[in-house]
Amino acid sequence: MVVVDPQIFARTQRLLLRPLRLEDAEDVLLMRKHPEVMKHTSLLPSDDLEGAKAWIQGVSRLPYTIHLDVC
């Protein structure tokens, strides 16, 4: 089993990967608003900021998953 420390970041000149945080809700919402993006998921498009926050909190509680934000 591989254990990943949530404090570990991956950084290149053009990309930063880091754990998803609640402060990312507005950025997650931008993604969730677009029907073209959401058609590839099991979720419907939404413009609900509180729903985006709840989604972030929910996925961060899932065992054995890594959720990274691309900055």
* pLDDT of amino acid 66: 56
* pLDDT of amino acid 42: 86
Q: Residue 7 is which amino acid? A: Q
What average pLDDT does range 36-55 have in this prediction?
90
Does pTM surpass 0.75?
A: no
Residues paired with residue 18 on neighbouring β-strands, in sequence order = 69
Taking a C-beta distance cutoff of 8 angstroms, is the pair 54, 1 a contact? no
At residue 62's C-alpha, the angle toward residues 60 and 64, to 5°, is 110
- The 10s digit of each residue's pLDDT in 13-27 is 998 888 788 899 999
